[in-house]
Amino acid sequence: MEKYDLIIIGAGPAGLTAGLYAGRYRLNTLILEKLYPGGRILATETIDNFPGFIGGISTQELTGNIQQQVKDLSVPVVLEEVRELDCGSKKVITENKTYEARAVIIATGTLPRKLGLPQEDELTGKGVSYCATCDAPIFRDKKVAVVGGGNAAVEEALYLTRFASQVYLIHRRGELRASAILQEKIKQNSKIKLVLESTVSRLDGSLRLQSITVKNKSSAEEQTIACEGIFVYVGSQPDTAFIKGSPEKDEQGFLVTDQEMKTSLEGIFACGDCRKKSLYQVINACGEGAVAADSAQRYLLNR
């Protein structure tokens, strides 16, 4: 069994930053990531509000730079999905291996919420998507829909206009929740059509998505929109189902920590979007990663 001072689960901005600081503390550290380094932020093409980058920076470049810093400190990032974390023994179990750590940082972020409609799973990858940056080129000169009203939904709707001929932005409220500057961009883009106070009630298509049915919440009237793609941005849920040992969580499953990123269990820390907080942004995820690594190294010094 491989043993480490610290195992970090998740290689998004929070986990990578925790790895960067752990490397500087010279802790024997392993980072485990189930998909690819960078995390869900890579579902967005650019980040415009990260301090120091006038005009924005691509998410791939930003996370790639952090990953290189981690690599330069000889902290390995291994692509293995964690199936179970036993918080008591601090054993981290993947499909092929079991690792043991003296301390663990959970930085697994979130998973996209689904619409919960029939055929959603069957049509995923066949018109239903949760990542415009990944799939937008497939829909060149085609009509698509985006569901959601927050920053992520609006950013991706704007990105999709580079490829699609028409983008329907569907939101259940009468106004969007996105930042004012993004809403201004929406109004200036003729390819985007707002469909407010509405929800998607049906997906249609056999081999691929062909149309969606949208229901107005006020009038209960339904309309069919012909489109070949639908991109879902209706919120997130914490990726914490693999954790055994019952650290304190809120009603939605987000991990509860103190300001030092300590969970309710000794030697178990959490940072990034899997923890309960008021702001879910890359900038504070990185800060939390630094705090979590610092707290972990101070915990280990006293063991």
Verify that 108 and 163 share a domain, yes or no. Answer: no
Contact assessment for residue 211 and residue 223, using Cβ atoms and an 8 Å cutoff: no
Residue holding tokens 């290689």?
11
Q: What is the rounded CA–CA span in Å between residue 144 and residue 156?
A: 11
Looking at the fold, whether 222 and 259 belong to one and the same domain comes out as no
Residue type, 198: S
| 103 and 242 inside one domain | yes
> What's residue 10's pLDDT?
98
Q: Which of 192, 217, 232 is the last residue of a domain?
A: 232
The predicted pLDDT at position 41 comes to 87
Q: What is the mean pLDDT of the chain?
A: 95
Give dist(CA 198, CA 135) in Å, integer. 24
Q: How far apart are CA 172 and CA 195, in angstroms?
A: 9
Amino acid 289: pLDDT: 98
Burial of 99 (0-12, 13-18, 19+ CB in 10 A): buried
- From 120, 65, 125, 82, select the one nearest 243 (Cα to Cα): 82
CA 228/CA 164 separation, integer angstroms = 10
Cα 116 versus chain centre, distance: 19
Q: Give me the count of residues in the chain.
A: 303
- pLDDT-based confidence at 270, cuts 50/70/90? very high
7 & 92 share domain: yes
Same domain (yes/no): 170, 264: no
Both tokens of 60, joined, read 């791939």
| Rounded Cα–Cα distance for residues 147 and 130 (Å) | 10
For 67, the domain range is: 2-112+236-301
Final residue before a domain boundary, out of 172, 204, 232: 232
Check whether residue 58 and residue 23 sit in a common domain. yes
Asked if pLDDT for residue 70 goes beyond 90, the answer is yes
Count of C-beta atoms within a 10 Å radius of residue 174: 11
What digits encode the pLDDT tens for the residues 121-173? 999 999 999 988 888 999 999 999 999 999 989 999 999 999 999 999 999 99
- Residue that terminates a domain, selected from 198, 232, 266: 232
CB atoms within 10 A of CB 181: 11
- Distance, in Å, from the CA atom of 92 to the CA atom of 1, rounded to the nearest integer, reads 10
CATH code of residue 166: 3.50.50.60
DSSP assignment of 93-134 equals EESS-EEEEEEEEE---EEEPP---TTHHHHBTTTEES-HHH
* Residue closest to 107 by CA, chosen among 97, 96, 92: 92
**Are both 182 and 215 inside the same structural domain?**
yes
Whether 164 and 256 share a structural domain = no
3-state SS assignment for residue 72: helix
In terms of domains, do 9 and 107 share one?
A: yes
Compute the C-alpha angle 299/260/242, nearest 5°: 80
Per the DSSP assignment, residues forming a β-bridge with 211 are: 204, 226
The residues pairing with 33 across neighbouring beta strands, listed in sequence order, are 79
Alpha helices in 148-264 (DSSP H): 151-160, 180-187
Q: Is residue 3 within 8 Å of residue 99, measured between CB atoms?
A: yes
Same domain as 157, residue 293:
no
Residue 268: the pLDDT is: 98
pLDDT tens, residue by residue, 79-120:
999 999 999 999 999 999 999 999 999 999 999 999 999 999
Domain co-membership, 221 together with 282: no
Tell me the pLDDT tens digit for each residue of 209-257: 999 999 999 999 999 999 999 999 998 899 999 998 889 999 989 999 9
Count the domains in the chain: 2
7: which residues sit within 8 A by CB, 6+ positions away? 29, 30, 31, 32, 90, 92, 99, 101, 103, 104, 105
* H/E run at residue 65: helix 59-72
Same domain, 73 and 97: yes
Q: Can you tell me whether residue 277 is helix, strand or coil?
A: coil
Answer whether residue 186 shows pLDDT above 90. yes
